[in-house]
Amino acid sequence: MVAGLYGAGALIAPPERVDRPYFDDTAAQLGVIREQFRQLEEYLAEVELPPSAGGKLAELMELYGALLEPGWVADVLATEPDAVHALSRGIRLDVPECVNTYNRTRWWNRLTPGGESPERHLERQLSVLYDEAERVTADLREAEARRQQTHTTYLEDRGRS
C-alpha cells in the first residue's frame, strides 16, 4: 500500500523544472558584431579588389557601419533579431566568402582563362548583399514608422477618453 501511494504521488507530482539556457541579449551580440566588423574592415584593407567591385563594397561597408554605429539606430536594430542575424551573416560569412572566392577564382583564371569573369561574379554578389542590407534598413525604418503610428493612435484614443 505504501509503495502504491508513493507511485501515485510520483505520477501526479510536477516534473523537476529545468532552467532554460541563457543566451546573450541582442545588445551584447551587437558588440560582438561591431568587433567582427572592425576585423572585416582590417581584412578588406589588405585585399586587392577590382575598382568596379571596390565601389559597391565601400557602399555596403558604409551601410553596415551606419547600422552598427552605437546610438539610437543600433538600439532599433537590437529590437529586430532577424535584422541582427542578416547583418551578422553578411559580416561574418558572406563578405569574406565573396572576397576569398574572388581571389581564388582569379588565380585559377590566370592559369586557364575563359568563362565568366571573377570580377563580374564579385560585383553581382556585392550587389545582392547591398540590396539585402537596404531591405534590412527599410524594414527598420518601417518598424519605427509603425511605432510612431501606434503611439499617435494611443494618444488620440487617450484624448477621447
Could you give the angle at the alpha carbon of 156 between the alpha carbons of 151 and 146, nearest 5°? 25
pTM of the model: 0.79
Closest residue by Cα to residue 84 from 98, 73, 71, 95: 73
Q: All 3 cell numbers of residue 2?
A: 505504501
Q: Are 143 and 79 in contact (CB under 8 A)?
A: yes
**What is the per-residue pLDDT for 26?**
72
Burial of 28 (0-12, 13-18, 19+ CB in 10 A): exposed
Q: What is the DSSP letter of 49?
A: -
- H-run or E-run covering 38: helix 26-46
d(CA 95, CA 126): 8
**What is the per-residue pLDDT for 9?**
65
Query: pLDDT tier at 159 (50, 70, 90 boundaries)?
Result: confident
- CA distances to 11, 15, 25, 43 from 18, rounded to whole Å, are 18, 9, 20, 43
What are the sequence ranges of the domains in the chain?
24-160
Q: pLDDT tens for residues 82-120?
A: 999 999 999 999 999 999 999 998 877 777 777 788 899
Q: How many CB atoms lie under 10 A from the CB of residue 10?
A: 8
Whether residue 135 is predicted with pLDDT greater than 70 in this model: the reply is yes
Q: Are 41 and 58 in contact (CB under 8 A)?
A: no
